[in-house]
Amino acid sequence: MSPHWPVGTVNHGPLLFGPWFDRLFIFGTAGIALVLGALATISPAIFLVVVLVDIWLFASPHVIATYTRIGFDKDHVKKHWFLIFGLPPIVLVGVTMVALAYELGGLFTLYFMAQTYHVTRQSFGIARAYRRADPQAAGPDRLSESLIYLFPLWGLMHRCTTSPEFFYGYPIYLPPVDAALTGATGIGAVFVCAWWGYRQVRLALAGRLNVGHCVFVASHLLVVAVAYLWVTDITSGWLIVNIWHNLQYLQFVWLQNVRRDAQLPGADGQRSPGSPDIQRLVKPFKNAAKYLAVCLVLGAVMYEALSVVGQQLIWLGLPTVFILHFTVNFHHYLVDGVIWKRRKSAA
């Protein structure tokens, strides 16, 4: 995610929306990810169940959520026509070339590293969203932003140092990283974390702590530390991060869609004439239910369609099922990188 997410405030202080939403957004997503991740380690059968829950209820719907931002009406389809129609064939060619050159190991390696960056950018954007929601904030928080990047970098380097051979049972070729370099990065990350923690205490004592921002950054550090540093198995660690990322993304896109439809205040802080009250819209949770239902149904259809088409093309001698699924994932990453960099007026 980019730093330019349209946030706005709804008279709830430095929160994205309100107490119920932000508690679910921060504590709920991290808690579900960590609990499901712990359950997945009990046995291979439970692991498979958790993976299927992630795919059907979180991962596929979260990809569909991206397209609710660019293709929900004719105007948006016209505006984002290249992202919708032109970019997928380009990504498909690129993924196929990687598969031809490095087979499945190359695809899984690219996916693991790309997702690490993708998730980190999402946390970076959310942290800036909380920062902008705070009327006392004066510009971005460089210390927090550095910390948000440092922990995933340390985690990724740790994975490279341990040199896992398999990811989901398939080969993975992470580049080797010297243990001393990984250790030095870890020391730097811990030092920055301690500095950041000290500053949060100072802000709290001065009555100027942005609690939402502070707690979100802490949740990011916790999930990354558990998934990349504490959990020894690369697949189990990935699962925790993936569940956490998918759940947060679904909630954040829902919030942005509601704001877009409600025509919330723009950069000038003025509400558009005649726009409906956001609390009236979301109080019955009807919008959330419809949004989740659409994402679930279309996500399931998409997943099955990709699998069926991939199986039909297996005669090409390529891992076509994986190629199609990875194409959708990488396309989602690229689209995400574009649409969240645009100002509200361009979304």
pLDDT tens track for 11-22 = 345 778 888 889
| 326 burial type by CB count under 10 A (0-12 exposed, 13-18 middle, 19+ buried) | buried
CA atoms within 13 A on the CB side of 244: 30
> Highest-confidence range of 131-135, 173-177, 255-259, by mean pLDDT?
173-177
Is the confidence at residue 238, as pLDDT, over 50? yes
196-233 confidence digits (pLDDT tens): 999 999 999 988 888 999 999 999 999 999 999 999 99
The answer to whether residue 158 is domain-embedded is yes
**Averaged over 60-68, what is the pLDDT?**
90
The answer to whether residue 14 is domain-embedded is no
The answer to whether residue 11 is domain-embedded is no
- Higher-confidence position of 101 and 76: 101
Is the confidence at residue 3, as pLDDT, over 80? no
Q: What is the mean pLDDT of the chain?
A: 85
Instruction: Indicate the range of 22-26, 74-78, 131-135, 278-282 predicted with least confidence.
Output: 278-282
Model confidence at 84, pLDDT cuts 50, 70, 90, reads confident
**Strand, coil or helix: 148:** helix
With contact defined as beta carbons under 8 Å apart, do 131 and 202 qualify? Answer: no
Give, in order, the Cα–Cα distances in Å from 63 to each of 125, 141, 303: 18, 29, 10
The answer to whether residue 269 is domain-embedded is no
The answer to whether residue 156 is domain-embedded is yes
Residue 69 to residue 339: CA distance in whole angstroms? 8
The answer to whether residue 329 is domain-embedded is yes
Residue 244 to residue 208: CA distance in whole angstroms? 28
Name the CA dihedral angle for 50, 56, 60, 62, rounded to a multiple of 10 degrees. -70
Cα dihedral 51, 125, 177, 183 sign: negative
Domain ranges, residue 98 = 19-263+276-341
Count structural domains, the chain: 1
The answer to whether residue 271 is domain-embedded is no
Q: Give the bridge partners for 170, in sequence order.
A: 167
- Residue 346: predicted pLDDT: 42
Residue 68 to residue 251: CA distance in whole angstroms? 13
Residue 55 to residue 62: CA distance in whole angstroms? 10
Task: Calculate what percentage of the chain has a pLDDT beyond 70.
Answer: 85
Name the CA dihedral angle for 235, 238, 239, 241, rounded to a multiple of 10 degrees. 170
The answer to whether residue 253 is domain-embedded is yes
User: Which pTM was predicted?
Assistant: 0.86
